[in-house]
Chain A
C-alpha cells in the first residue's frame, strides 16, 4: 500500500520574531500543518548554509528560515545577512538541479501569528507538490 507523502520540513526560526510568531499562532489556536519541525535559533543570521544542506541530507524535504522584518532585527543586521546568504544558496541549489523552493525564507514578526500559519501552509503545500527530496539524501546503510 502506498502511503500518502507527508513532507518533512525543518524550520529555523529566530528567537525574537518568528519563534514568537509561531508561539502566538499556537496560543491563538490557529490551525497550521504539523509538518514543520521547529529549531529555535537566536537570529536568522545564525543559520549557516551547512544547516540547510545537512537538513536536506538527513531527511528534510524542505527548510524554512524565519527572521524578523527588515529593520527589526534584534541584532540590527542579522536578517539582512541571512537574506544575502540564502539568495546565493537558493540559486546554487537551483543550478545543481534541486528545486530552490525547498529552501524558503520568511519575515514573520512576533505579532503575526496569522501570517506564520499562512506561510507554513503555503510552504507545506509547495513541498508536497515537489515530492520527497531524493537527490542527495543520506542512505545510512552500513
Chain B
C-alpha cells in the first residue's frame, strides 16, 4: 500500500482544487447536528463530526425525484426531465456511508438501470474521511469493516496529527493525488495511520453477532420472537428514513390542470400502506410482519441475492428509534432463538 501525505495547512487548497471541478457536498454543522450540504467555502466543513444526522444517500437517491413531466387531458404529452450530469463530490464521507452506496448500487444498476442514480453515481467523487471517534451506537466492525477502510471511496484521508494520511483506491483517486499538494508517505506515517485505526476500532464497544445469520433467520420466520420485538414498534419509519441502505420508494402522479409530473419519493416498509393492495388486502397486516421484513431484507434476502449484508453499522436507526428497537440486540437475539 503506497500512501500519500497531505498537510493540514494544505487542506483548504485541496478542497478548493476539487471545488474548481465539482460541486462539493461536505459535512456542515447546523445547530449541533451535522448535515451534508453544498459548500462554498472550505472553512464551513466540520472535520470532526460524529455521524451526519441523515445519511448522504439523498445525494444519489433523492427523497423527491421527478421521473417525467406530462400534460394531462386527452392528448397526453410526456416529456423526459433533464438529468443533471454535473460533476459532484462528497468530501468527508465516512467509510460506512460509502459502503452503503456500494450496497444499493445493484438495486439501481442491475436488471434495470436507473438513469438518475447511475448518472449521479458515475459523476460522483468520494473523498472519504476516516472515523477516529466512533459514535455511541457504531458497530461497523461487526461486518469485518473498519472505521478507516478505503475500500469504497476514491481517496481516503485519515487524521494522523498534523497531517492527513491519504490512501488511493481508484483511477479517479489517482488523478487527484497527482496534484503537487500530495507528498509520498513514509513508513512512519503508515504505522501512525494503523495506530489511529486501531484506536478507533478499539473504542467501538458494541457488536452484533452475524455468524451465519441468514441461515438462522431461515428457520425462525414464523417464530413468536418477531411479535415480541415488534410489540413496542410505533411504525414511525424513522429507522428506514435514517438508514443509508434503505432504498424503497413510492411513485405518485402530481398535477395541476395544465401540467404534472410523476415523482418518486422515499417510502418506508414500516407503514401498513406500503403493502396495502387495491383490493384492501394487506399481506403484512401487523407490525410484527413489518419489523421482521426489515430485518430479513437486510440480513437474509440481501446476503442470499447479493452476497452482502445490507447493514453498514452506522447506528443511526438505533439512535433515532423513539422506543429503543436496537438492531444490534434484535439480530443478536434472533441468532440465539431456538427454532
CA A140 to CA B256, docked complex, whole Å = 8
Question: Number of A residues contacting the other chain (C-beta, 8 Å)?
Answer: 2
Number of A-B contacts (CB under 8 A): 10
* Chain A residues in 8 Å Cβ range of B256: 140
C-alpha spacing A140/B260, complex, angstroms: 8
A6 → chain B closest CB, angstroms: 20
**Residues from chain A with Cβ under 8 Å of B81 in the complex:** 142
Task: Report the nearest A residue to B70, measured CB to CB.
Answer: A142
The CA of A142 and the CA of B68, in the complex, are separated in Å by 8
Interface residues of A (CB under 8 A from B): 140, 142
Residue of B nearest to A142 (CB): B261
Number of chain B interface residues as a range: under 10
What is the CB-to-nearest-CB distance from A88 to chain B, in angstroms, rounded to a whole number?
26
Q: Smallest Cβ distance from A49 to chain B, in angstroms? A: 22
Contacts of A140 in B (CB 8 A): 256, 259
Residues of B with C-beta under 8 A to A142: 66, 69, 81, 254, 259-261, 263
Question: When A and B form their complex, which 6 residue pairs have the shortest distance between CB atoms, in order from nearest?
Answer: A142-B261, A142-B66, A142-B69, A140-B256, A142-B260, A142-B263
* Nearest A residue (CB) for B67: A142
B194 to chain A, nearest CB (A): 50
Supplied contacts A142-B69, A142-B261, 8 more A-B pairs, CB within 8 Å: A140-B256, A140-B259, A142-B66, A142-B81, A142-B254, A142-B259, A142-B260, A142-B263
Q: Please name 8 pairs of A and B residues whose Cβ atoms are closer than 8 Å in the assembled complex, sorted by A.
A: A140-B256, A140-B259, A142-B69, A142-B81, A142-B259, A142-B260, A142-B261, A142-B263
CA distance in complex: A142, B82 (Å): 10
- Determine the chain A residues whose CB is within 8 A of the CB of B261 once the complex forms: 142
Shortest Cβ distance from residue B69 to the other chain A in the assembled complex, whole angstroms: 5
Measured CA separation A140–B66 after assembly (Å): 11
Q: Which chain A residue lies CB-closest to B254?
A: A142
With the chains together, A142 CA to B264 CA distance in Å?
A: 11
Q: Which of B89-122 contact A (CB under 8 A)?
A: none
Instruction: Give the distance to chain A from B70, nearest Cβ to Cβ, in Å.
Output: 9
Nearest residue (CB) in B for A140 is B256
Q: Which residues of A contact B260 (CB under 8 A)?
A: 142
Task: Tell me the smallest distance from the CB of A136 to a CB of chain B, in Å.
Answer: 16
Per the 8 Å Cβ criterion, residues 51-74 of B in contact with A are 66, 69
Give, as a whole number of angstroms, the nearest-CB distance from B264 to chain A.
11
| Distance A140 CA – B253 CA, assembled complex (angstroms) | 12
Contacts of B7-40 to chain A: CB distance below 8 A: none
* Residues of A with C-beta under 8 A to B254: 142
Name B66's closest neighbour in chain A (CB-CB).
Answer: A142
Q: Which has the most chain A C-beta neighbours within 10 Å: B69, B81, B256, B263?
A: B256
Query: What's the Cα separation between A140 and B71 when bound, in Å?
Result: 13
Bound complex: CA of A140 vs CA of B261, how far in Å? 9
- How far, in Å, is A124 (CB) from chain B's closest CB? 25
Q: A142 to B78: give the CA distance in the assembly, Å.
A: 12
